[in-house]
A and B are shown apart, each in its own frame.
Chain A
Amino acid sequence: MTLVKLMRWESMLGLVLVAEVVLFSSLSPYFLNVDTLSDASFNFTERALIALPLALLIIAGEIDISVAAIIALASVTMGLGAAHGVGTPGLLGLGLATGLLAGCVNGALVTVGRVPSIVATIGTMTLFRGAAYAILGNRVLKEYPGSFAVFGQGYLAGPVSIELALFAVFALAFGLFLHRTRWGRAIYAIGANPVASRFAGLDVNRYKFALFALTGLFAGLAAVLLTSRLGSTRPSIAQGWELEVIGIVILGGVSVWGGKGTIMGVVLAALVFGLVTFGLGLMNIPGIVMSIFTGALLILVVAVPAWLQRR
C-alpha cells in the first residue's frame, strides 16, 4: 500500500524530469549536450549532498535549518586557514571539522537541551551566519592554494566532475543505509513514533544526535566544494540555500511529519531542481524570476498527489 504510494510519487518526479528535458531541449539547442549537462550538474550537487543526510534527519522527525549558515562558517574557517598558510588537505579537514562541530552543537541543543529542532536551528542559523559576518565584515578571503580548486572544479573522468561522482557515491550509500540496514529501519521507526521506539529499546537521542552531526558534516563538505568552486569566501556565501535544500527533500516525497520518504525520491528531486534552474538559466531568465518557477514547481509536485489522493 505505502509502496504503491511512494512509487506514484517517484514516477511523478520521473515524469516531471522527462517533461523538463523535452521542454528545455526544444527551447534551447545547447541543452542536450554532454558538456552542457555536465556543467549543469554543478547547479545541484552541493545542495543535493546536504539533502541526503537532511532527508534522514527529516524522516527521523527533526529538521536542520542552519545548513547554509554552517557552509558560511566552514567557508570562513577555511578562508582564514588559507590566509595563514594551511595547505589543501588541512583546509579540507578544517571545513569538514567545522561542519561536524556545528552539527554537534545542533544535536546537543536538541537532544540534551531539549529545544525543538526548528527553534534550535533557527537560532544556530542566525548565530553561525552572524559569526561569519562578524569575522569577515566586508572582506573577501581568496588566498586559497591552487590545488584547492580540485574539489569544486576537478573532473574524475571525462565529463564526470568530482562533485557529481561524490553525489552519486553518497546517494547510493545513503540509499543502502536507509533502506537496507537496521539503522535505517530505526530512523523510520523513530520518525513514525519516537515513544514506541524508545520503548522498543532504541536510543532515540543518540540517533538524532548522530543525524544532526552527519548533516553538519555534509554541510561542511558542501562548503569545501562550493568554496573550491568559487575560489573565494564572502560571509554571504550560500545565502538562502537552506530553503532550497529543504525544498529538494520535500519535493523528493519526504514527509515533514517524519517516518516517510526515500533516497530515490530525493535524488530525483535534486535532478528536477538542478535541471529547472539550469534550463531557465540557459534561457537567460534572471535568478529572481527563477525562484518563482522553483517555488511553483515545489507546490505543484507536493499539492497534486495530495489532491489526487483525496479525490
Chain B
Amino acid sequence: MSPLVTLAGVRKSFGGVRALSDATLELYAGSITALIGENGAGKSTLVKILSGVHQPDGGEIRIAGEPVRMPRPDAARRLGIGVVHQECLVFDNLSVAENLFVNAWPASRGAVDWRSLRARAETLLRELDADFPVDVPASRLSIAQKHVVQIARALADDSRVLILDEPTASLSQRECVELFRIVRKLRDAGRALLFISHKFEEIYELADRYAVFRDGVSVSAGLLSEVRSDELIRLMVGRPVAQLFPKLETQIGEELLRVDGLGRSGEFEDVSLTLRRGEILGIYGLVGAGRTELARTLFGLQRADAGTMRLSAAAGAGCALVPEDRQTEGAVLPFSIAANIALPNLAALAPRGWCRSALETGLAREWMDRLAIRASGPEQAVHDLSGGNQQKVVIAKWLARKPAILILDEPTKGIDVGAKAAVHRVTSEFARAGNGVIMISSDLPEILGMSDRMLVMRRGRVRGEFSRSEATSEKLLKAASDA
C-alpha cells in the first residue's frame, strides 16, 4: 500500500534555530500514526507545516503521490488536511453550528442560510455520536466537546487527513475513551490520522504505526506491534531516561503551614491541611474539584471567605506558586529567560531600584544550568522555547526566590518525559533541602510516586487523606469520583 501523505527531507529554521532538519513521515489511509518525540523535537513545527501555517525551507510534501504546496492554511484545508489543535481553537462567541462552518457558511444569495447550517451541523455531530446541541455557544462546551467540534469541522471540510495534536492533554479518562471511539471510527472510514501524545498507554491503545522524532530529525518509523515502549523511549530521548519519580528520602520536620477550615464561596469549603519541612503533599482530584482555586488562595491571589491560614516562623521566605497555565499565568512570553527569572526577584536584584543586567543574566545562567533549560542563552525569548523548557523557566523564577513552600499546579501537564523527570528531580531536591511542596496533579502515577502524603478533593471538599504507604490508585480514584 502506498502512503496517502509523504514528507521527505523537510527542513525548517526560525531565525537560525533549526526546528526541523530532516523530517520524513508517511501517513496511510485507514491507519493511525502516532507521532512521538520530546518537546522541541519538531512535532509542532511539523503540524504547522502540514497545516499550511509555516512554509518548509526545503524538502517535499506529496499527497497521493502528487507534490503539493500549501502557502496558506486554507490551501491545506482544500487539500483535505484537517487539524485538531491542542489549544482548542474554537470561537467561544459563536454557536457550535457556526463554528463548524466558519470557513464555509452555507449561503443563498449572499445571506447565511441558517436552516441549512443547522441541519448540516446536526448531521455532522450525529455522525460522531456527539450529544450536545448545535445552537449553544461554544463557550459552554467542555474541553472534550470542543475537541469534537474541531474534529467535526475537519469533517465538514471533507478532510482525508486529520491531525490530532495532543487532544487528550486535558481530558478525563471517560472523555478519552469517547474521543478514541470517534477516532477509530474515522480510521475505519479510511482516513489517515496523525496522533500526537506523550502518553504511551494511549499510543499503544489507539495507534497502528509510529514515527519518532528527535531534535528535528525522524529517527525511526514502523508498525507499533513490532516495537516495545522502552525501545520507543530510548529512540525518542536518545539516551537512557532518568528515573521518572526520583523520590528522595527526606526528613519530615517542623510545621511550615497550617490551614484550618478554609473556604471560598462557590469554590471550596472547610479545607484543613498542614505542611511540614521536607514534605511533598499531593493534592489529587478531577478537573473542577477546587484545587486550583485553593492554590490561588494559599498563594494570596484571592481572599478566603472563611477559615485561617498560618505560616509558621520557619517559613520566613514565604510561598511560591507555579500556576497551571504556564503561557498566560506563568511566563511573560515575549520576555527573555533572564527577564522572566528576574521578574519575581527584582526587589532582591535591584534593592535600590537600579537593574543590573549582569546580575540578571548571572542568575539566569545559574538556574538554566541547575534545571537543564535548553536554550541558545539567557537572552532567548521564552515564547521560542518548547513547553517543557518554558515550564522549567517558570519553576526557576520561583526557586530563585528561595521560598520555603512551593505550590505546583499540574507541573508536568503536556511536557515530555525528559522535562517531566527534570521537574520531579528538582521538586524532590527542593523538599529534601527542608522545604515544603504542595503538588496538585491529575496524573495518578505522579501523585503516587512523588507525594509523602496525599489529599483527595472532590467538589470543593477534602474527601480523603492517605499516607504514602496506604495510598493506591484505586483508593485515590474512588475518593475523587462520586462513588
Q: Is B198 part of the binding interface, using a Cβ–Cβ cutoff of 8 Å?
A: no
Stretch from B144-152, B334-342, B426-434 at the A interface? B334-342
Q: How far is the CA of A185 from the CA of B343 in the complex (A)?
A: 8
Q: How far is the CA of A110 from the CA of B328 in the complex (A)?
A: 21
Residue of B15, B333, B343, B355 ringed by the most chain A CB atoms within 10 A? B343
Contact indicator A192/B347 (Cβ below 8 Å): no
Which of A182, A192, A200 is the one whose CB lies under 8 Å from B350?
A182
Contact indicator B328/A180 (Cβ below 8 Å): no
- Residues on B with beta carbons closer than 8 Å to the beta carbon of A202: 343
Q: Whole-angstrom distance from the CB of A194 to the nearest CB of chain B?
A: 10
Q: How far is the CA of A177 from the CA of B330 in the complex (A)?
A: 26
Given the contacts A1-B15, A198-B301, A200-B344, A192 and B332 also touching, CB distance less than 8 Å: yes
Q: Is B417 part of the binding interface, using a Cβ–Cβ cutoff of 8 Å?
A: no
Q: Mark B315-343, 1 if CB is under 8 A from A, else 0.
A: 00000010100001111111100010011
Contact indicator B332/A189 (Cβ below 8 Å): yes
Given the contacts A182-B355, A185-B355, A197 and B343 also touching, CB distance less than 8 Å: yes
Contact indicator B339/A185 (Cβ below 8 Å): yes
* A window 193-236: CB within 8 A of B: 193, 195-202
Q: Is A33 part of the binding interface, using a Cβ–Cβ cutoff of 8 Å?
A: no
Q: Is A284 part of the binding interface, using a Cβ–Cβ cutoff of 8 Å?
A: no
Q: How far is the CA of A184 from the CA of B353 in the complex (A)?
A: 9
Q: Whole-angstrom distance from the CB of B13 to the nearest CB of chain A?
A: 14
- Residues on A with beta carbons closer than 8 Å to the beta carbon of B334: 2, 192-193, 259
Q: How far is the CA of A189 from the CA of B331 in the complex (A)?
A: 10
Given the contacts A192-B335, A200-B343, A201-B344, A182 and B329 also touching, CB distance less than 8 Å: no
Contact indicator B354/A181 (Cβ below 8 Å): yes
Contact indicator A196/B328 (Cβ below 8 Å): yes
Contact indicator A182/B346 (Cβ below 8 Å): yes
Which of A182, A183, A184, A197 is the one whose CB lies under 8 Å from B332?
A197
Q: Is B11 part of the binding interface, using a Cβ–Cβ cutoff of 8 Å?
A: no
Q: Is A49 part of the binding interface, using a Cβ–Cβ cutoff of 8 Å?
A: no
Contact indicator A199/B15 (Cβ below 8 Å): no
Given the contacts A181-B354, A182-B355, A199-B321, A189 and B335 also touching, CB distance less than 8 Å: yes
Q: Whole-angstrom distance from the CB of A176 to the nearest CB of chain B?
A: 9
- Residues on B with beta carbons closer than 8 Å to the beta carbon of A197: 332, 343
Which of A180, A182, A193, A198 is the one whose CB lies under 8 Å from B333?
A193
Q: Whole-angstrom distance from the CB of B328 to the nearest CB of chain A?
A: 5
Q: Is B179 part of the binding interface, using a Cβ–Cβ cutoff of 8 Å?
A: no
Nearest to B357 among chain A residues (CB) is: A180
Q: Is B61 part of the binding interface, using a Cβ–Cβ cutoff of 8 Å?
A: no
Q: Is B397 part of the binding interface, using a Cβ–Cβ cutoff of 8 Å?
A: yes
Q: Is A266 part of the binding interface, using a Cβ–Cβ cutoff of 8 Å?
A: no
Q: Is B349 part of the binding interface, using a Cβ–Cβ cutoff of 8 Å?
A: yes
Q: How far is the CA of A202 from the CA of B329 in the complex (A)?
A: 13
Q: Whole-angstrom distance from the CB of A241 to the nearest CB of chain B?
A: 31
- B contacts with A, residue count (CB < 8 A): 25
Q: How far is the CA of A111 from the CA of B412 in the complex (A)?
A: 34
Contact indicator A200/B397 (Cβ below 8 Å): yes
Q: Whole-angstrom distance from the CB of A8 to the nearest CB of chain B?
A: 15
Q: Whole-angstrom distance from the CB of B163 to the nearest CB of chain A?
A: 27
- Residues on B with beta carbons closer than 8 Å to the beta carbon of A198: 301
- Residues on B with beta carbons closer than 8 Å to the beta carbon of A185: 339, 342-343, 346, 355
Q: Whole-angstrom distance from the CB of A291 to the nearest CB of chain B?
A: 34
Nearest to B350 among chain A residues (CB) is: A182
Q: Mark B171-204, 1 if CB is under 8 A from A, else 0.
A: 0000000000000000000000000000000000
Nearest to B296 among chain A residues (CB) is: A199
Nearest to A196 among chain B residues (CB) is: B332
- Residues on A with beta carbons closer than 8 Å to the beta carbon of B397: 200
- Residues on A with beta carbons closer than 8 Å to the beta carbon of B355: 180-182, 184-185
Which of B301, B323, B343, B353 is the one whose CB lies under 8 Å from A183?
B353
Q: Is A186 part of the binding interface, using a Cβ–Cβ cutoff of 8 Å?
A: yes
Q: Is B381 part of the binding interface, using a Cβ–Cβ cutoff of 8 Å?
A: yes
Q: Whole-angstrom distance from the CB of B140 to the nearest CB of chain A?
A: 23
Q: Whole-angstrom distance from the CB of A229 to the nearest CB of chain B?
A: 34
Contact indicator B339/A182 (Cβ below 8 Å): no
- Residues on A with beta carbons closer than 8 Å to the beta carbon of B323: 199
* B window 332-377: CB within 8 A of A: 332-335, 339, 342-344, 346-347, 349-350, 353-355
Q: How far is the CA of A272 from the CA of B334 in the complex (A)?
A: 29
- Residues on A with beta carbons closer than 8 Å to the beta carbon of B354: 180-182
Given the contacts A180-B354, A182-B353, A200-B344, A1 and B381 also touching, CB distance less than 8 Å: yes
24 residue pairs A–B, Cβ–Cβ below 8 Å: A1-B15, A180-B354, A181-B355, A182-B347, A182-B349, A182-B350, A182-B353, A182-B354, A185-B339, A189-B332, A189-B343, A192-B335, A195-B328, A196-B328, A196-B329, A196-B330, A196-B332, A197-B332, A199-B301, A199-B323, A199-B330, A200-B343, A201-B344, A202-B343
The chain B residues found within 8 Å of chain A, CB to CB, are 15, 301, 321, 323, 328-335, 339, 342-344, 346-347, 349-350, 353-355, 381, 397
Additional 20 contacts, C-beta under 8 A, given A185-B343, A192-B332, A200-B397:
A2-B381, A180-B354, A181-B355, A182-B353, A182-B354, A185-B346, A189-B332, A189-B335, A189-B339, A189-B343, A193-B332, A195-B328, A196-B328, A196-B329, A196-B331, A197-B332, A199-B321, A200-B343, A200-B344, A259-B334
